[in-house]
Structure 1
Amino acid sequence: MVRKQWGKSAVSLMLIAGLVLGGCSSGSGSKEAAPEGSAATEVKKEGFPIVEEPVQLKMFTRIAPVNGTFKEMPVFQDYEQMSNVKVEFIEAPTDGFQEKKNLLFASNELPDALYRSSLSPLEAVRYGAGGQLIPLEGLIEEYAPNLTQLMEEYPEIRAAITTPEGHIYAIPGIVTLGSARTDKKWINTAWLEKLNLDMPETTDELYDVLVAFRDQDPNGNGQKDEIPMTARLGLHIVTMMSGSFGLDQQLGYNINIEDDKVEIWMGSERNKEMLMYLNKLYTEKLLDPEVFSHTEAQYLAKQGSGQTGVFFDQTNNNFLPIADQYEGMSPPAGPHGDRMQAQASPMPRDFGAFAITSVNNYPEVTMRWIDYFYSDEGSTLLRFGREGEHYELKDGIPYYKEAYSTSETQPKITPYAGGGAPHLISEQVASYINPPQVQEAQKKLDPFMPEVRYAAPMFDEQTAQQVNILRNDIDKYYEEQSTKFIAGALSFDKWGEFQETLKKMKIDELQQLYQDAYDKMEK
């Protein structure tokens, strides 16, 4: 029964892609095992300091272009005084970060821990089974009360990070705040009001609104420079519109489940309808011509330009100066009456945010050190810095002071900026990303979220390898062909050939692997 509850309550769990591990064991030791040579240091299980005698740790981390150096951030300065644990960060820039991480493990020149290092499920399994990362489940149970409480309250977190052999080699960032797991559908209501248009409730009405945005000069400058609708690079637009065509994202993939039958919908007629709709928008210049070429920075700039009618993003940070022009809208009902918000990030949103290596002499200290950030108190320090200097409390909720509320100053004081930090994002600490406008936009999505969100299966290593091989080819082909269908570079007369190619790529075999996993989940 518990397994069924995990599957039905999880938002979307990470898929572990398998790797042949050449006879390596499934872990570097028992749950309670510490690395050889572990220092005999008494660790307090509650309160601060964590240790009476100072301990120094080295952590490898990614530093985003917007960040300042970690050692100058108030969170790490103050937490060192609180905990008696001094951390030396080995900072690697985002550009080239993956290569540096690969070299770290290949050379076996390991730090004590990896912080905000975006370990993939594959990397966690590989380096854990190979003995370079240690299993954390025993340390979590004994030295991480905050993380343990979260995993007890939300069982999908444990399921998302536990290997089939029962080990946890990396812990994620955790997002309990619902509005931090969805991209809202923002629409320019100032334009709607100027053109005397109603909020669109169907895909046909959305089309009509976009035509008016294109043709009726809603910004009033006498030029056709409006962008009716845009989205992030790639197939973000497909993800955001799929629910209107009855296409869900179950089991962490492009999957519908009906009457206990798993369907990968990439070659379905419903998907064809969606792509034809998007092709119509693109051809008529209702969908941004740069949707497959612009950069993330350019996309964010379009949000704040006031020149865009509809776009999609988690929060309103990127258009705050003109925020009063926009509201969130509900998913539009599609041609068959489908109206669903299929897109949602998992609660353990940033897999592999933190891991402890086998050279660490203080694994218990390290686990207690990181656990603080899975509390509201620790997360507040990480995200907001010092009360009175960097933020102030209003009704118990921290808000940045004006000097630290800009996109230039805020990233200098917190590793949250740039994404992927191991910590808790709850309603308590989310004032920056969850203001009232965002909360209202989330309410427009809530009635259309699926009643059941099945977890991505935790495949065994052999099955994971099969899934990984199949998906590498199928996913690449689907993205390439879908882009061509939308952009008009590939005629829908070729849809049959597209379906046949998916079959030759063994999409039916992939579907059966997911079906088998679903059947086991439901036992």
Structure 2
Amino acid sequence: MQITQQAERPVDLAGKSIPVYKKGSKCMKSSTAKRLSVILLAAMMTAQLASCGNSSGSSSGNSSASSAGNANNTSSASSAATQTDETKDVFQAPDHDNLNFDGDYITCKETTTLHIGSYQSPLITDYDDNKLTQYLEELLNIEIEWDLYPASDALSKIRVMVSSGTQLPDILGMNGFSNLDVYDWGEQGVIVPLDDYIENYSKYYKKIIDDTPRYRTQLTMPDGHIYAMPNIIESLPNSYSQRAWINKKWLDNLGLDVPTTTDELETVLKAFVTEDPNGNGKKDEIGLAGSTNGVNQKPYDYLMNSFIYAGRGSLSNTQVRTDVSDDGKTLYSPVITDEWREGLSWMNHLCEEGLYDPVSFTQDSTGFTSMITTEEGSLVGVICGMGLGIQTDEAADYVPMSPLEGPEGIAYAAYFPTTATAHMLITESCENVGAAFALCDALLSYDVSVRARFGEPGVDCIMNDGTMTSMLEGYDAVLKPLVNWSEQTNCWWQGCYPTYAPKALIVGQAWDGNLGNTQYQVTSAVPYFEGREPEHVVGTLIFTQEEADAIADSNTVIINYIDESIARFITGDLDVDDDTVWENYLKELDNMGLSDLMAVYQSAYDRMYNE
């Protein structure tokens, strides 16, 4: 369990001592001509951490495990496919004879050493003397040795090691793998396809992707193989993170109700900026504002959903806005529709009336925070963002504002579906693939997922003893975290592992009664938006290499042009109501290749969801 290197390994680019593949090895094959896929989806690490974050507490209690966790383990282990006398002749791992399949986890009969290559998080004080490391070693009868790389360029170093044919650790674990990495390395033979292990050995992985086929689709490469162990965080706060919050205290002071339509919002905003709702005798109130880079702090994303679904497929801005027809078959971009134009025209009207602050298009999240945390309190009536950004009792002044009904009765909530992302890969270097798979599979169990995210029950988190209140009404409290995710600790591995956190676990964190608790704010707001999304929403799209090459130049250019045009139309720099201006905008998108790009999107969508 030491952080060491095997003595026979020569030094690699990271200063680690590892050998090199011989000429002719599968790992020496060129990948340039054979890469087949890429995902236009950025990792949601920042939002995931915000959603899964917690606040430390001081209450005491002790419980070794939750009844929900034990029930989950028993159910998963008994229902998933496992190695039996009937199946062992169909498939066996190279180290099959050293594996024990009895019980809730696959374990090793003889202690087996596994090397894990990962980034060295500055928040982890010790990977060797680490609670999760030691727990898994004892649970599975393994020894873990770490090959650690600087967090700033760990993935780049691994990519260089792969391209140079340098032998890798048994397991690679981190949260930055793209699907291009995964498929390319799988094609080269650098990493092991897991299909047979999932079908014949898994106690947890198979059940998860059988219960939610979308995850299987997201993890299956164009060659039909699954190579990665996933990180799956079913975070309702993340999925419904495009929100607006309105100052209820100001509403009460003016005798107004929370608006439910776009017309009512306009009336409220006018009152906010003209009638001194904060009562300080100054004309300092701002109706509606946001920022350019805060998590979902762009007001137009929230407002446009009252006219047409804004079409953001992920929290990142790496995919052109795309909607799906009512039958779930045909993709189109909303940015060229009459409804999109109508939404822009209304927002331009708000801006001209001084109700939508144009600084929202230039200020960053720091500037926005200064607006809502002044000595006299927040100066903004309507705040857009995943959370309030207010961590004091003043947070109680704000309430979530449900999607507003537009002139045609549309009132959508943005929805970002949970995505299964690659977090661990077993490499060709691994001689004990069965043991490596056993480790990864165990990390997907409920009990280990709890430990991997919240630490040791009874020490780093307190399991619900019947007295706790959940942050989300309708869900039972599961636990109270005692260690903050952003603090230095040796409780876990800080995101470099596969895990499965069902939504009941994420929203089941106990509330400490603090209205300024960020996790409470983002969780308690979910019911205002859940279920208000369209029936069909575009999420992750996997492209062949040919498709990716076809849109490589146009995709980013079009995204940037759309964003720039949104700002110019709303602020009045371009007249959205001028037919000639609008036609020029549409022609420019066509010249940039929007129709061709949407055809490529359609091809990928058909392959994934319509076949």
Asked if TM exceeds 0.5, the reply is yes
Q: CA 1:333 to 1:363, structure 2 compared with 1: closer, same or farther past 3 Å?
A: same
Q: CA 1:287 to 1:233, structure 2 compared with 1: closer, same or farther past 3 Å?
A: farther
Q: Percent identity?
A: 25
1:230 aligns with 2:300: no
- Aligned partner of 2:16 in structure 1 is none
Kept in 1, the 8 Å contact 2:326–2:536? The answer is no
| Amino acid in structure 2 at the alignment position of 1:75 | L
| Amino acid in structure 2 at the alignment position of 1:426 | P
- Aligned partner of 1:8 in structure 2 is none
Secondary structure of the 1:132 match is coil
Cα displacement string for residues 323-361 of structure 1 (whole angstroms, at most 9, x for unaligned residues): 4333322111123221111x2222225x22222222222
Written as runs of structure 1 = structure 2, the 5 A alignment for 1:78-227 is 78-92=135-149, 95-109=152-166, 110-183=168-241, 184-221=243-280, 224=284
Written as runs of structure 1 = structure 2, the 5 A alignment for 1:444-523 is 444-453=528-537, 456-492=540-576, 493=578, 494-516=581-603, 521-522=609-610
Aligned partners of 2:143, 2:344: CA distance in 1, in Å?
A: 53
Kept in 2, the 8 Å contact 1:134–1:356? The answer is yes
Kept in 2, the 8 Å contact 1:228–1:287? The answer is yes
Secondary structure of the 2:391 match is helix
- Aligned partner of 1:61 in structure 2 is 118
Secondary structure of the 2:257 match is coil
Secondary structure of the 2:530 match is helix
Written as runs of structure 1 = structure 2, the 5 A alignment for 1:264-275 is 264-275=333-344
- Aligned partner of 1:14 in structure 2 is none
Secondary structure of the 1:145 match is coil
Aligned partners of 1:420, 1:359: CA distance in 2, in Å?
A: 19
Kept in 1, the 8 Å contact 2:229–2:498? The answer is yes
Q: CA deviation at 1:182?
A: 1.6
Kept in 2, the 8 Å contact 1:247–1:265? The answer is yes
Q: CA 1:453 to 1:64, structure 2 compared with 1: closer, same or farther past 3 Å?
A: same
- Which is helix-richer, 1 or 2? 1
Aligned partners of 1:33, 1:464: CA distance in 2, in Å?
A: 37
1:442 aligns with 2:526: yes
Secondary structure of the 2:535 match is coil
Kept in 1, the 8 Å contact 2:36–2:184? The answer is no
1:425 aligns with 2:493: no
Aligned partners of 2:555, 2:227: CA distance in 1, in Å?
A: 24
Q: CA deviation at 1:385?
A: 1.0
- Aligned partner of 1:325 in structure 2 is 397
- Aligned partner of 2:107 in structure 1 is 50
Q: CA deviation at 1:153?
A: 0.8
Kept in 2, the 8 Å contact 1:62–1:117? The answer is no
Out of 314, 330, 348, the residue aligned to residue 419 of structure 2 is 348
Aligned partners of 1:137, 1:97: CA distance in 2, in Å?
A: 27
Q: CA deviation at 1:156?
A: 0.7
Q: CA deviation at 1:24?
A: 7.2
Cα displacement string for residues 194-246 of structure 1 (whole angstroms, at most 9, x for unaligned residues): 33221111123223333444444444555526573325618854443332112
Q: CA 1:91 to 1:310, structure 2 compared with 1: closer, same or farther past 3 Å?
A: farther
- Aligned partner of 1:380 in structure 2 is 450
Secondary structure of the 2:306 match is helix
- Aligned partner of 2:8 in structure 1 is none
Kept in 2, the 8 Å contact 1:244–1:333? The answer is yes
Secondary structure of the 1:372 match is helix
Q: CA 1:240 to 1:20, structure 2 compared with 1: closer, same or farther past 3 Å?
A: farther
Q: CA deviation at 1:439?
A: 5.3
Q: CA deviation at 1:280?
A: 4.4
Structure number with greater Rg is 2
Kept in 1, the 8 Å contact 2:352–2:571? The answer is yes
Unmatched runs of 5 consecutive residues or more in structure 2: 1-29, 38-89, 315-320, 467-475, 512-519
Q: CA 1:202 to 1:388, structure 2 compared with 1: closer, same or farther past 3 Å?
A: same
Aligned partners of 1:115, 1:297: CA distance in 2, in Å?
A: 33
Aligned partners of 1:97, 1:311: CA distance in 2, in Å?
A: 37
Q: CA deviation at 1:271?
A: 2.1
Q: CA 1:325 to 1:78, structure 2 compared with 1: closer, same or farther past 3 Å?
A: farther
Q: CA 1:41 to 1:285, structure 2 compared with 1: closer, same or farther past 3 Å?
A: farther
1:254 aligns with 2:355: no
- Aligned partner of 1:5 in structure 2 is none
Cα displacement string for residues 58-93 of structure 1 (whole angstroms, at most 9, x for unaligned residues): 333346665655445533332233223333444556
Out of 131, 152, 155, the residue aligned to residue 74 of structure 1 is 131
- Aligned partner of 2:20 in structure 1 is none
Aligned partners of 1:32, 1:300: CA distance in 2, in Å?
A: 57
Secondary structure of the 1:187 match is strand
Unmatched runs of 5 consecutive residues or more in structure 1: 1-18
Q: CA deviation at 1:319?
A: 3.5
- Count of residue pairs brought into register by the alignment: 492
Q: CA deviation at 1:451?
A: 2.5
- Aligned partner of 2:430 in structure 1 is 360
Aligned partners of 1:503, 1:434: CA distance in 2, in Å?
A: 51
Q: Which has the higher contact order (CA 8 A, sep 6+)?
A: 1
Aligned partners of 2:186, 2:391: CA distance in 1, in Å?
A: 42
Aligned partners of 1:103, 1:128: CA distance in 2, in Å?
A: 16
Aligned partners of 2:115, 2:591: CA distance in 1, in Å?
A: 49
- Bigger drift between 247-256 and 125-134 goes to 247-256
| Amino acid in structure 1 at the alignment position of 2:140 | S
Cα displacement string for residues 286-336 of structure 1 (whole angstroms, at most 9, x for unaligned residues): 446554455566667877776244345556797375443333221111232
Q: CA deviation at 1:269?
A: 2.5
| Amino acid in structure 1 at the alignment position of 2:480 | Y
Kept in 2, the 8 Å contact 1:247–1:270? The answer is no
Aligned partners of 1:301, 1:413: CA distance in 2, in Å?
A: 35
Aligned partners of 1:57, 1:212: CA distance in 2, in Å?
A: 65
Q: Given the two structures, how large is their TM-score scaled by the length of structure 2? A: 0.69
